[in-house]
Amino acid sequence: MSRPIQVMKFGGTSVGDAARIRSAATIAAEASKQRSVVVVVSAMSGVTNTLIAAAGKSAAGDEAAGEALTSLLKTKHQEAIAALIPEGERQRELLAEIEALIDRAANYCRGCALLGELSPRALDVIAGSGERLTARIAAAVLREIGCRGVAFDATDLIVTDEVHGGARPLAALTREKTRAALGPLLEAGGIPVVTGYIAATVKGVPTTLGRGGSDFSATILGAALDAQEVIIWTDVNGVLTADPRMVPDAVTLDEVSYSEAGELAFFGAKVLHPMTLRPVIERGIPVWIRNSFEPHRVGTKITQTARPTPHCVKAVTATRDVALIAVAGPGIIGVPDIAARIFAATASVRANIVMISQSSSQDSICFVVQSADTIRTEKALRDALHEDVRHHELEHVTVNRNVAVVAAVGENMAGTPGIAGRVFSTLGNEGINMIAIAQGSSEYNISFLVEASAMERAVKALHRTFGLGQVESREEVRADAQVTTKTV
């Protein structure tokens, strides 16, 4: 493709109402003056949650949930369209298309209510409807402001495996389809507007990439198109030293490495879907995190090598979205190959393991999984160990959901002595008990488990101990910044 390509993704709040959609379209239109632009959009904020809740209620027998969904989504999207597209043929066509998509989602909900069940496959179809709506609206707005915006459903571009709710892309097929579908429009100077979050299997069955997956969609497309850069437009100034909702004096980091950002995302920093950086690392495509509400700001650049900050720990992150599973008790002692069997069981249900710790006597292995994986992991473990432990009365598999993982991350931590000591004493001074601790051999992070109620205190205290609130940010203005859309 002749011009360099920039893939830009707008998250839920960045397309949250008519004004935000207009602002996103302006950012894309400005950028397209200098290069080819591919836009990726999330659903309007709150819409995916609404869809998933309606699907769940329907499956539980609430036949009215589909109706409620229809009226809520129609009102929200009709209001946006009325504010963005002048009355007339173009508005009528867009409204009809949007209403048909909403009716389709509601029909699926009714189907769930009739069957009394919600399969992962049906959930993906329903949950992914929101992105189809915003892609069409944003493309129409681009056309209103003089660009050739065309909406694409990523079900026609991104090919994945069949793991509903957390599908992984098949790179070669995705590359082929994406280039064939978007290439001609990009060559002609048009702006494809692609749905985030959704994809489809080789057979064309719709899948989703997991909650928050639109970030991942952007980098999958960026890699497929050999993009020059990927920009994730969101509602904060970049990657911060901690979640600003938890630590108000958190500071924006100018640069972080792929590994650092990957660790932060893995340990719960919502600003990036954990898989986001996978597709771009090999090709070295830079990813920027920028604030769509303040587009004049530079944001955070994520590349292979990031300039270090003066601090060994760069950021602190945490998540409550986990559970501690312990396999322990007298029945476990002497079970042959216990570790291999435990992890074969977790692998069989594709559980995402966040931390592992084993006591030396081999009679207790505990690990942390993501909340969503807990029930099926517990069942797989009980099934796998049933024969060995059925003569023992003591419980051998226990689950504790009242926990949180906290992680301190930074490449400079590697080889710096005393960091674990500072982490321990900080938590000790706060009276916070560490339930388990792990440090990978890369030494890019120390992660530990605390009671959920202590999470916020732990993050705040570590942020203070490592002086993270004091990092100076450059806050330069990018040469191609769009000050026109500044809406502070």
In angstroms, give the least distance from the CB of 271 to Mg ion. Answer: 7
Q: Indicate whether 271 belongs to the interface with ligand ADP (CB under 6 A).
A: yes
**Residue whose CB is less far from ligand ADP, 182 or 409:** 409
* CA 17, chain centre distance (Å): 21
In angstroms, give the least distance from the CB of 141 to Mg ion. Answer: 21
Helices 47-59 and 89-115 meet at what angle, rounded to 10?
30
* Chain residues 4-43 in contact with ligand ADP, contact rule CB under 6 A: 11-14, 42
Q: Indicate whether 16 belongs to the interface with Mg ion (CB under 5 A).
A: no
Alpha-carbon distances, residue 17 vs 84, 88, 195 (angstroms): 10, 21, 17
12 CB contacts (<8 Å, ≥6 apart)? 42, 43, 44, 45, 46, 47, 48
Find the part of the chain contacting ligand ASP (CB under 6 A) among 205-213, 233-241, 409-417, 474-482.
205-213
**Residue whose CB is less far from Mg ion, 11 or 149:** 11
Contact by Cβ (8 Å): 324, 55: no
423 CB contacts (<8 Å, ≥6 apart)? 408, 446, 448, 462, 465
Report the partner that residue 38 touches, choosing among ligand ASP, ligand ADP, Mg ion, none (CB closer than 5 to 8 A by kind): none
Alpha-carbon span 51 to 74, nearest angstrom: 12
Q: Indicate whether 212 belongs to the interface with Mg ion (CB under 5 A).
A: yes
Contact by Cβ (8 Å): 399, 341: no
Alpha-carbon span 144 to 19, nearest angstrom: 14
Residue from 240, 251, 403, 462 binding ligand ADP (CB under 6 A): 240
In angstroms, give the least distance from the CB of 71 to ligand ASP. Answer: 20
Contact by Cβ (8 Å): 270, 243: yes
**Residue whose CB is less far from ligand ASP, 209 or 406:** 209
**x/- binding map, residues 6-35, to ligand ASP, per CB under 6 A?**
-----xx-----------------------
Q: Indicate whether 210 belongs to the interface with Mg ion (CB under 5 A).
A: no
Report the partner that residue 213 touches, choosing among ligand ADP, ligand ASP, Mg ion, none (CB closer than 5 to 8 A by kind): ligand ASP
Total residues contacting ligand ASP by CB under 6 A comes to 12
**Residue whose CB is less far from ligand ADP, 112 or 194:** 194
In angstroms, give the least distance from the CB of 9 to ligand ADP. Answer: 8
Residue from 90, 211, 311, 320 binding ligand ASP (CB under 6 A): 211
152 CB contacts (<8 Å, ≥6 apart)? 135, 181, 182, 192, 193, 194, 195
**Residue whose CB is less far from ligand ASP, 108 or 197:** 197
What are the DSSP calls for 143-201, one per residue? HHTTS-EEEE-GGGT-EE-S-TTS--B-HHHHHHHHHHHHHHHHHTT-EEEEESSEEEE
Bridge partners (DSSP) of residue 195 are 41
Helix (H) or strand (E) segment spanning residue 32: none
Count how many residues are written for the chain.
488
Q: Which residue is nearest to ligand ADP (CB)?
A: 11
Measured from the Cβ of residue 352, the count of other Cβ atoms closer than 10 Å reads: 16
In angstroms, give the least distance from the CB of 46 to ligand ASP. Answer: 9
Alpha-carbon distances, residue 154 vs 42, 129, 160, 326, 471 (angstroms): 12, 12, 11, 40, 39
Alpha-carbon span 302 to 230, nearest angstrom: 10
In angstroms, give the least distance from the CB of 261 to ligand ADP. Answer: 9
Helices (H), 32-88: 47-59, 65-84
Residue from 242, 285, 327, 365 binding ligand ADP (CB under 6 A): 242
Place of tokens 């009226």: 71
Quick check: helix, strand or coil at residue 354? strand
Q: Indicate whether 48 belongs to the interface with ligand ASP (CB under 6 A).
A: yes
Q: Indicate whether 220 belongs to the interface with ligand ADP (CB under 6 A).
A: no
Report the partner that residue 239 touches, choosing among ligand ADP, ligand ASP, Mg ion, none (CB closer than 5 to 8 A by kind): ligand ADP
**Residue whose CB is less far from ligand ADP, 219 or 346:** 219
Report the partner that residue 43 touches, choosing among Mg ion, ligand ADP, ligand ASP, none (CB closer than 5 to 8 A by kind): ligand ASP
Report the partner that residue 197 touches, choosing among ligand ASP, ligand ADP, Mg ion, none (CB closer than 5 to 8 A by kind): ligand ASP
**Residue whose CB is less far from ligand ADP, 23 or 377:** 23
Binding site for Mg ion (CB under 5 A): 11, 212
Binding site for ligand ASP (CB under 6 A): 11-12, 42-43, 48, 130, 196-197, 211-214
Binding site for ligand ADP (CB under 6 A): 11-14, 42, 212, 234-236, 239-240, 242-245, 264, 269-271, 315, 317
